Amino acid sequence: MAKYLLLALNGPTDGEGDEEALNRWYDEVHIPGFKAIPEVKSARRYKVMRGKVAEGELWPYVTAYEIETDDLASVSQRMQKELMDFHPALDREKSGNLMAIQISGDA
């Protein structure tokens, strides 16, 4: 079975209380929604401490989702259908994501 890593790179909008509201939504709604999909084997959120990017600013948060499936298209469709209702405190203009397939490392 193929193993994938989805990285969501994002942060809150600039309003008062937005960061707390976004963190609460991630913990109570978004991550549990991902974990309800059987192919999502883990979901972990991280606060960025330091890093380097070619241009612009670092994202304040990174969420890593480990996915195992032989039908990524189907899993992606389900995520699009069920998990795309984002909190208004999520700064969508400054968000990014990466999907990678595992090619080496731990089995």
| Any domain includes 91 | yes
pTM attached to this predicted model: 0.92
- Looking at the structure of the chain, the number of domains it has is 1
In the chain, % of residues over pLDDT 70: 99
Say what the pLDDT of residue 54 is.
87
| Any domain includes 58 | yes
| Any domain includes 107 | no
Element holding 71 (H helix, E strand): none
Per the structure block, which two tokens stand in for 3?
């193993």
CA dihedral sign of residues 99, 101, 104, 107: positive
Say what the pLDDT of residue 79 is.
95
| Any domain includes 89 | yes
Domain holding 30, by residue range, is 3-101
- What is the C-alpha separation between 27 and 44, in angstroms, rounded? 10
| Any domain includes 106 | no
pLDDT band at 103 (very low <50, low <70, confident <90, very high): very high
Q: Who contacts 102 (Cβ-Cβ below 8 Å, separation ≥6)?
A: 2, 3, 4, 5
The per-residue pLDDT for range 48-83, each reduced to its tens digit, is 999 998 888 889 999 999 999 999 999 999 999 999
Say what the pLDDT of residue 43 is.
97
CATH code: domain of residue 34: 3.30.70.100
| Any domain includes 70 | yes
Say what the pLDDT of residue 60 is.
96
